[in-house]
Amino acid sequence: MSDDITRLVGAWKALWNGDFSDVDELIAPGVRVHAALADGGDGSAIDDAEAMTGWVAQLRGPLPDLVFDIEVGPIVQDDLLALRWRATGTYGGGFPGAGAPVGTPVDFTGVDLLRVHDGQIIEYWLNSDMLLLLTQLRVQSVEPSAV
């Protein structure tokens, strides 16, 4: 694996683990995000480093000790990079509609597909088991604007 890929994957993992120090170098202006968000959005409003940081921080708010580990990858083909990850942590409270008590453990997985240009992420597809996370948090229903 090249040093550039190692650096990028390390910065990506650090971002999701709450370290935003390299986000401006990691995320290209105009990045395109394709994701089913908890608030019902499709990710299209996340279009720069600041918005990406906000999204990650929003997820981490009710899950402050969430740790992302890479289980598979990176798998690299041309300008695409794929990773399978697992996130584990404990619920800290504050997720709209959640009935789980504070301290409930969470464990869910996902796959990230990243398009890279000049060392920055220019496009991101996310497939995560959000249903499993919502089930673990005992979320019954949430109004899209509440998250």
Q: What is the pLDDT of residues 31-61, one digit of tens each?
A: 999 988 777 778 888 999 999 999 999 989 9
Total count of domains within the chain: 1
Among candidate residues 20, 103, 83, 101, the one with its CA nearest the CA of residue 55: 20
**Res 112: pLDDT:** 96
Q: What is the pLDDT of residues 99-111, one digit of tens each?
A: 999 999 999 999 9
Within-domain flag for 43: yes
**Res 83: pLDDT:** 97
Within-domain flag for 147: no
pLDDT tops 60 at residue 144:
no
Q: What is the pLDDT of residues 109-131, one digit of tens each?
A: 999 999 999 999 999 999 999 88
* Other residues' Cβ atoms within 10 Å of the Cβ of residue 81: 20
Residue-number span of the structural domain to which 14 is assigned: 3-141
| Mean confidence (pLDDT) of the chain | 91
Query: What CATH number is associated with residue 45?
Result: 3.10.450.50
Within-domain flag for 146: no
pLDDT tops 60 at residue 65:
yes
Whether the full predicted model's pTM is greater than 0.85, yes or no, is yes
Query: In 3-state terms, what secondary structure has residue 143?
Result: coil
Within-domain flag for 59: yes
Within-domain flag for 24: yes
